[in-house]
Structure 1
Amino acid sequence: MKKIKNWWMGLLLLAGVAITSCNDDDKPVFPEIPEETYDMTGFARGADVSWLTEMEANGRKFYDADGKERECMSLLRELGMNAIRLRVWVNPVDGWCNQADVVAKAWRAHNLGYRLMIDFHYSDTWADPGNQTKPAAWEDYSFDELRQAVANHTTEVLTTLKNQGIDVEWVQVGNETSNGMLFDEGKASTDMANFAALVNSGYDAVKTVYPEAQVIVHLDRGNELTHYAWIFNGLQGNGAKWDIIGMSLYPGEDPDENNGLAEWSPVDENGQTWKAQNDACIANMQSLISTYHTQIMVCEIGIPWNYEQAEAFYSDFMTKAKQVEGCLGVFVWEPECYGGWNGYQKGLFDDSGKPTASLNAFARN
């Protein structure tokens, strides 16, 4: 579906055919100008905007390149994004990213025609390779109770979304689970079978609510194949089910994490440039697709917004990822962040809240 151009109205007016009826004051009534529409199909050009409602509540504004204030999701859609990713926490202290907040953001995305990915952390806070803390309410659960809690939480959130008429295309059962989830019971290095069982609890719950949704198991360091092979061999050997392997890729070295360009190097601890890391990630995709007969999604990607080669990095990666048969798309993590929001410097907006040239990599072809 191509964009609908609004300038046709002016041509009709010049031709003298626009007036179709009159109101009580005998003033001309014109047809409504059709809203611009977008093709949201195909390769996923995604944005995780989970911080958006919190940023808005704190007074952050978003602007287009001309400095006009804009609603963020609409602006990202205009700039080429066609999918939204949202994280879910079980019972966060401040409420952000809880079920209600996720539903509010998902409803906005749905009404703009976005495709949707839901990212279950199964925690009250951040889940990542080193932090897979059980929700406080689940702390004393037995392993069987943890499995049931995963199923119940997944079912509850997704059912709430479905009851609102919101479609969900992809669901992550865990976030960056490079050593499992729900530590210590679900730590893969301790008990891979437990981790596989937890994955299956989430998988089955997803399929019960959204039978067509694709379930993702997501790891970090997409340029390093060894821990993907370890996790997915272990999951496969223990009967785990998944539809898509998810990756994160954050090139370079950030010894003081998320502290901006001054603390970041485009060369990682192994001496790899961002170009080499891109190529390694693409090669890993091809290997994983071949080995596990599965599809790939890059669920997170980012580089400092003010790095001089940021646009080149995104353009290089997007071009190569689109050429991989079996790669479904790429999601930028929190592209709307700017001005050092929560210390995060890897968004796609500059310090004035305007989009940077890096968004060119996500433009519609």
Structure 2
Amino acid sequence: MFLLLAVAASINCASKSDNTSVPDGEDGGSNADTTFFKGADVGWLMQMEATGFKFYDAAGKQQDCLDILRDNGINAIRLRIFVNPSDDRISGHCSLAETVTMAKRCLAKGFKIMIDFHYSDTWADPSHQTKPAAWAKDDFPTLLTDVYDYTYHVLDTLQEQGCTPSWVQIGNEITGGMLWPTGSTDNWPQLSQLLNKGYAATKAVNDQIKVIVHIDQGNNNGRSRWFYDSAKAYHVNYDIIGLSYYPYWLNQDYTANIKDLANNLNDMVSRYQKPVMIVETGGADTAIQNTYDMLKAVIKTTAAVPDSHGLGVFYWEPEGARSWSRYKLSCWGADGKPTKALSAFK
């Protein structure tokens, strides 16, 4: 069973009755269902600030990073959450207590919130889907309970603290499944049950929260059809198809596959009758103009999905300057200023 990380009593969050942010709209959007979301994952932000990294706007004025993001067109924030993370500044943190703090801070500035459950103590992605240490020896029935109870606890805590998200990801880039080996795509009957436990827990807390199922390589139609056809065959419950799109990691320029992205987004909507969202994208910090052009193209492509079924585009992590994170795909320089690439969201 999972180990609950107690939320510190000092967290300054409004009570549920004071400021519960309840999402609305049929497709996880706002009152106007045509709202297009331009988002940023900022999971490193608290640690960057804690270690003294200063953020400046383009004019050189020191500001809250969230204000700089908002001034550049960002209107939604994605927050990852690990089960029992370490204190490693790059691969740890993102605990429940920290997530509540960040969610409250972001909502106070007018952002919509997405919570990205990794169901791990650290990164989960197509190459890593390691069970939390506290769940490692649990059999399949117990693991189902782990997923339900943990998901419910996190979201119930957020809601009670006035921080209800608009969207929840059940797993992160789960192209090969999650909670390996139990929830591998080699065993769809088990994976589907794990995903449905996350869905059920989310809806039990608040049935207006939209549930995303997320895989990588959003330009790859064969990969996407294989995964979501299987999800359909095994009756996986979800509301939105979430895709990553990183031409950089494919060793291609975006111009080589942006049409493939457009075709896949349109096919996903038509084939599964679900809206789509690019929940992760990014480009090289050394190719600023190219990253800017790529973002413009991805935003245009996603917004062009018929019937407003392209919900938005999220950058991973724009503020994570390489000088601090060693990550090559941010939109920030060592001088603490955003690069031109970020302005593509305006």
TM-score w.r.t. length of structure 2: 0.86
Residue 359 (structure 1) shift:
2.0
Superposition deviation, residue 146 in structure 1 = 0.6
Q: How many residue pairs are counted as aligned between the two chains?
A: 308
Partner of 2:316: 333
Residue 32 of structure 1: aligned partner: none
Instruction: Give the partner amino acid of 1:208.
Output: A
Cα distance in 2 between the residues matched to 1:317 and 1:110: 26
Match of 2:27 in 1: none
Q: Is the 8 A contact 2:73 2:345 kept in 1?
A: yes
- Relative contact order, higher structure (CA 8 A, sep 6+): 2
Is residue 133 from structure 1 mapped to residue 130 from structure 2 by the alignment? yes
Matched with 1:303 is 283
Which of 157, 177, 182 aligns to 2:179? It is 182
Report the equivalent of 1:112.
109
Contact 2:120 2:132 (8 Å CA) reproduced: yes
Please state whether the residue corresponding to 2:313 is helix, strand or coil.
strand
Q: Tell me the amino acid that sits aligned with residue 274 of structure 1.
A: Y
Question: In the alignment, which residue of structure 1 is the partner of 2:21?
Answer: none
Output aligned runs, 1:312-327, within 5 Å. Answer: 312-325=293-306, 326-327=309-310
1:51 aligned partner? 44
Moved over 6 A (4+): none
Give 1:151 deviation, angstroms: 0.6
Asked if the contact 1:220–1:247 (Cα under 8 Å) also holds between the matched residues in 2, the reply is: yes
Q: C-alpha root-mean-square deviation of aligned residues, in Å?
A: 1.5
Contact 1:338 1:352 in 2 (8 A): no
Question: Do structure 1's residue 208 and structure 2's residue 191 form an aligned pair?
Answer: no
* Contact 1:40 1:114 (C-alpha < 8 Å) held by counterparts: no
SS in 1 for 2:322: coil
Task: Pick the aligned partner of 2:262 from 272, 282, 287.
Answer: 282
Distance in 1 (CA, whole Å) between partners of 2:127 and 2:301 is: 30
Mapped to 2, the partners of 1:350 and 1:124 lie a distance apart of 29
CA contact (8 A) 1:220 1:249 kept: yes
CA offset digits 1:186-210 (Å, max 9, x no partner)? 001x211111111100000000112
Q: 1:63 aligns with which of 31, 39, 56?
A: 56
Segment of structure 1 superposing worse, 198-207 or 94-103: 94-103
Percent identical = 41
The Cα of 1:341 is off from its aligned counterpart by: 2.9
On the 8 A contact 1:298/1:329 being kept in 2, the answer is yes
User: Whole-Å Cα distance in 2 between the matches of residues 359 and 250 of structure 1?
Assistant: 16
Instruction: Select 1:98's aligned residue among 95, 100, 121.
Output: 95
Q: Which protein is bigger by CA-based radius of gyration?
A: 1
Tell me if structure 1 keeps the 8 A contact 2:40–2:77: yes
- The answer to whether residue 128 in structure 2 is matched with residue 147 in structure 1 is no
Letter of the structure 2 residue corresponding to residue 87 of structure 1? R
1:6-17 equivalence runs, <5 A: none
Structure 1 residue 224 corresponds to structure 2 residue 217: no
Long gaps (5+) in structure 1: 1-38, 255-264, 268-272
In the TM superposition, residue 110 of structure 1 has moved relative to its aligned partner by 0.9
Are the equivalent residues in 2 in contact too, given 1:40–1:82 (CA < 8 A)? no
CA distance, structure 2, for counterparts of residue 82 and residue 253 of structure 1: 26
* In 2, Cα distance between equivalents of 1:305 and 1:40: 35
C-alpha deviation, 1:253, in angstroms: 4.3
2:240 paired residue among 230, 244, 254: 244
CA distance in 2: counterparts of 1:233 and 1:319, whole angstroms: 27
Offset, 1:40: 10
**Separation in 1 of the partners of 2:133 and 2:183?**
16
Amino acid at match of 1:313: M
Q: What amino acid is the match of 1:246?
A: G
SS at match of 2:268: helix
- 5+ residue gaps, structure 2, are 1-29
TM-score of the superposition, structure 1-length normalised? 0.82
Q: Secondary structure at the match of 1:252?
A: helix
Partner residue in 2 for 1:260: none
Q: 1: CA distance between counterparts of 2:134 and 2:234?
A: 28
* Alpha-carbon offset, residue 311 of structure 1: 1.1
Question: Which range moves more in the overlay, 281-290 or 340-349?
Answer: 340-349
In the other structure, the counterpart of 1:360 is 343
Letter in 2 for 1:137: A
The residue that corresponds to 2:79 in the other structure is 86
